[in-house]
Structure 1
Amino acid sequence: MSSLDAHGHEWRAGLRFPWPTPPANGEVQAVAEGVLWLRMPLPFGLDHINLYLLKHAQGWVAVDTGLNNRQTRDAWERVFEQVLGGLPLLAVICTHFHSDHVGVLGWLTERFRCPVFMSASEYQAMHQLGANNDPSSSWAFRQHYRRAGLSTEQTEALFPLLNSAHFRPQVPTSFHRLSEGSELNIGGRRWQVRIGRGHSPEHACLYCAEDQLLIAGDQVLPRITSSVCVQVTEPDANPLREWLDSIEGLRGVPDDVLVLPAHERPFFNLHLRLDQLRDHHLVHLQQLLDACTAPRSAVQLMAVLFPKVNGQFDELMALGETLAHLNYLIAQGQLGREEIDGVFRYGRTPVGAVARPVLGQL
């Protein structure tokens, strides 16, 4: 349920949205002086990404880029002509390495010969993503999804999706490093870098204390939750622990900040949203514990958390999230796992068991 206040702001689930509707794809909405919200299309169920343009001297700084496809490049061409007023991009800041955020990064930076700013871990992960690595040749890929409970046929069916050009960003050859506490002076504003983890290795949020603006990327979203997934690259990772810790760290940002997320609409009431996100994952953790009265595979448990999955991409993300929650519970000492006929089975551990990290199966 939602309602409008006297200022025309929409209230939904305790969050306040200053703009009831987003701009159309390829168009912009001013959210502060010299800060434009730019909407770009995505060919998924989540059909858009929010980019931000920051005015600086005789040009602009872009935050994130959109996906690597013709639709994104065509939209950027219209932005160059109709929004930027003939002024160049002076730099591109990338919050993190995911393909919808860095897809045309190389194309933009080559066109304007401008620098890239991002964290070191994200830059390295982006280059790994952009490399021509065919998962169909990887025994580790097949083993990972077999252990999760997918059949050989189901795993093979993932290869065309993962080899799509959508997931192969155009990468630059150099970058300027962002770290926790780094400051960027853009258009007379000081933007402080706040690093989050769990959704990606070293996700950079940008916080302007003077104007109470937080460019949050995917670290804080207003309605959906950030994907927190275990992937084949690190099958025993505990990204949910990192993500929950990062969410708590963001409470150092004032509650009345205007949050500028990478998806959906800008909103107020940051701390309430942090509570909601934490509670969402606590519910998922309890659901898994309740479901593990007998040993079950990750695929079976995925159906508990995500009973409605539409398409292969959503299934891949849902399985990664399920594994993240399972690894968290193992690290807490609440679940154990055993490999049976090549598939990991998860079950409750005895009361009083000692928490331990997840270790690779030997």
Structure 2
Amino acid sequence: MAELDAQGHEWRAGLRFPWVKPPANGEVREVAPGVLWLRMPLPFALDHINLYLLRHEEGWVAIDTGLNSEQTRAVWEQVFDQVCAGLPLLAVICTHFHSDHTGVLGWLAERFRCPVYMTAGEFQWLHLGAPGGSKPSWAFRDFYQKAGFSSEHAESLLPLIQAPHFRPELPSSFQRIEEGSRLAIGGRCWQVVIGSGHSPEHACLYCAEDGLLISGDQVLPRITSTVSVHVTEPQADPLRDWLDSIERLRELPDTVLVLPAHERPFFNLHQRLDQLQQHHQAHLEKLQAACDEPRSASELMSELFPRAQKGFDQLMALGETLAHANYLIAAGSLVRETEQGVYRYRCTQPGEPRLNRLLPFSADIAAC
């Protein structure tokens, strides 16, 4: 339940939102002098992404880009005409490689002949791209079949991640940013703060002087960022990276204005970090409780995400389920075994040896 305070700020679930309504798609709102919040449409249930424009000298610096689509380009043309007032983009900074953040990155960089700033890890994953070809690779089939999906079901998932809007327009070069990098933009010093788990080397931008945090997808106010295991690295432990990142973000002041990539800007960072940590802890407890007898990943997915019935929702739900399962395996709380080509997860028995990691060979071999 939301309520308004004396300043007209909305309070919801312990977070304070200075703006009750977001700008319309293609429109902007100034959230600090020279910092514009730009809402860009997305063709999904999550129907928008927040971009930010930072005024700098005789131009602008863009934070993220939107999807690779004609709609995105049309909105950018409107922004160039009505917001930028003929002044160019001087640089584009991308928080991470996901397609809604980098979709027209190459188009913007080429149009304005401006540099792209990203972390090395995100730039490399940007160029990895979705699997090609009309038929799933052996690794793709193996990943989903071991999760408990049929061969036909696995094959039906491939087109979902090959849609054109999931293929960003790539830049040919970048300038590396990393933890602690400092960027002088518009009279402000922005420090790069790295998070992981949602993506490998996600860059947030923190301005200590003005108490601003451009958080990308690393901290969102209502929804939770996806923390998933994918075909590319089936033994990854992204949830450990995510929870470690939460602890590092606690070092920032609770008073910052968080400027997220989705939903609305908000205050009370530490409260939100607590909520995110509690969300994943509840998922871990629920998953472990479901493993009192051996269960496949698809069965566990139905426990954690009962509304994810088909399509892209299943892709996301399975990835999150595996992230929690891999975390519990690394913690020694679960054991993963193979039964008729399907992985099954069960709780560790008292006195059972702890296996920290299972290597993805044709036969599982425990790390020494």
Provide the TM-score with structure 1 as the length reference: 0.98
The match for 1:239 is 238
The match for 1:41 is 41
* TM superposition shift of 1:359: 2.5
How has the CA–CA distance of structure 1 residues 238 and 82 changed in structure 2, closer, same or farther, with 3 Å as cutoff?
Answer: same
Taking the TM superposition and a 5 Å limit, the aligned residue runs for 1:298-337 are 298-309=297-308, 311-337=310-336
The match for 1:106 is 106
CA distance in 1, matches of 2:89, 2:16: 32
CA distance in 1, matches of 2:309, 2:44: 10
The match for 1:277 is 276
The match for 1:194 is 193
SS at match of 2:92: strand
Is 2:16 aligned against 1:16? yes
**Equivalent residue letter for 2:279:** H
Q: Output one character per residue of 1:311-362: Cα deviation in whole Å (capped at 9) or x when no partner.
A: 4111111110000000000000000111111110100111354351242242
Whether the 8 Å CA contact 1:237–1:358 is kept in 2: the answer is no
**Equivalent residue letter for 1:58:** E
* TM superposition shift of 1:45: 1.1
The match for 2:366 is none
Whether the 8 Å CA contact 2:213–2:258 is kept in 1: the answer is yes
The RMSD of aligned alpha carbons is 1.2
Whether the 8 Å CA contact 1:60–1:84 is kept in 2: the answer is yes
CA distance in 1, matches of 2:134, 2:211: 43
The match for 1:343 is 342
Whether the 8 Å CA contact 1:334–1:355 is kept in 2: the answer is no
**Equivalent residue letter for 1:67:** L
**Equivalent residue letter for 1:218:** D
Whether the 8 Å CA contact 1:327–1:358 is kept in 2: the answer is no
Is 2:28 aligned against 1:28? yes
CA distance in 2, matches of 1:167, 1:351: 45
CA distance in 2, matches of 1:82, 1:358: 55
Whether the 8 Å CA contact 2:22–2:264 is kept in 1: the answer is yes
* TM superposition shift of 1:149: 1.1
Identity %: 68
**Equivalent residue letter for 2:28:** V
How has the CA–CA distance of structure 1 residues 190 and 228 changed in structure 2, closer, same or farther, with 3 Å as cutoff?
Answer: same
CA distance in 2, matches of 1:71, 1:351: 57
* TM superposition shift of 1:252: 0.9
The match for 1:92 is 92
Whether the 8 Å CA contact 1:218–1:263 is kept in 2: the answer is yes
Q: Output one character per residue of 1:263-287: Cα deviation in whole Å (capped at 9) or x when no partner.
A: 0000000001000000100000000
How has the CA–CA distance of structure 1 residues 135 and 194 changed in structure 2, closer, same or farther, with 3 Å as cutoff?
Answer: farther
CA distance in 1, matches of 2:157, 2:329: 27
CA distance in 2, matches of 1:194, 1:90: 22
SS at match of 1:252: coil
Gaps of 5+ in 2: 364-368
Whether the 8 Å CA contact 2:136–2:158 is kept in 1: the answer is no
More moved, 229-238 vs 343-352: 343-352
**Equivalent residue letter for 2:360:** G
The match for 2:252 is 253
**Equivalent residue letter for 2:257:** L
CA distance in 2, matches of 1:99, 1:136: 22
Matched positions, count: 361
**Equivalent residue letter for 1:136:** K
How has the CA–CA distance of structure 1 residues 197 and 4 changed in structure 2, closer, same or farther, with 3 Å as cutoff?
Answer: same
* TM superposition shift of 1:136: 2.6
List, as ranges, runs of 4+ consecutive aligned residues in structure 1 with deviation greater than 3 Å.
none
CA distance in 1, matches of 2:156, 2:22: 35
SS at match of 1:136: coil
SS at match of 2:359: coil
How has the CA–CA distance of structure 1 residues 352 and 241 changed in structure 2, closer, same or farther, with 3 Å as cutoff?
Answer: farther
Whether the 8 Å CA contact 1:135–1:141 is kept in 2: the answer is no
CA distance in 2, matches of 1:107, 1:247: 33
The match for 2:126 is 126
CA distance in 2, matches of 1:202, 1:158: 27
CA distance in 2, matches of 1:129, 1:107: 17
Whether the 8 Å CA contact 1:37–1:53 is kept in 2: the answer is yes
Whether the 8 Å CA contact 2:136–2:155 is kept in 1: the answer is no
SS at match of 2:295: coil
Is 2:299 aligned against 1:296? no
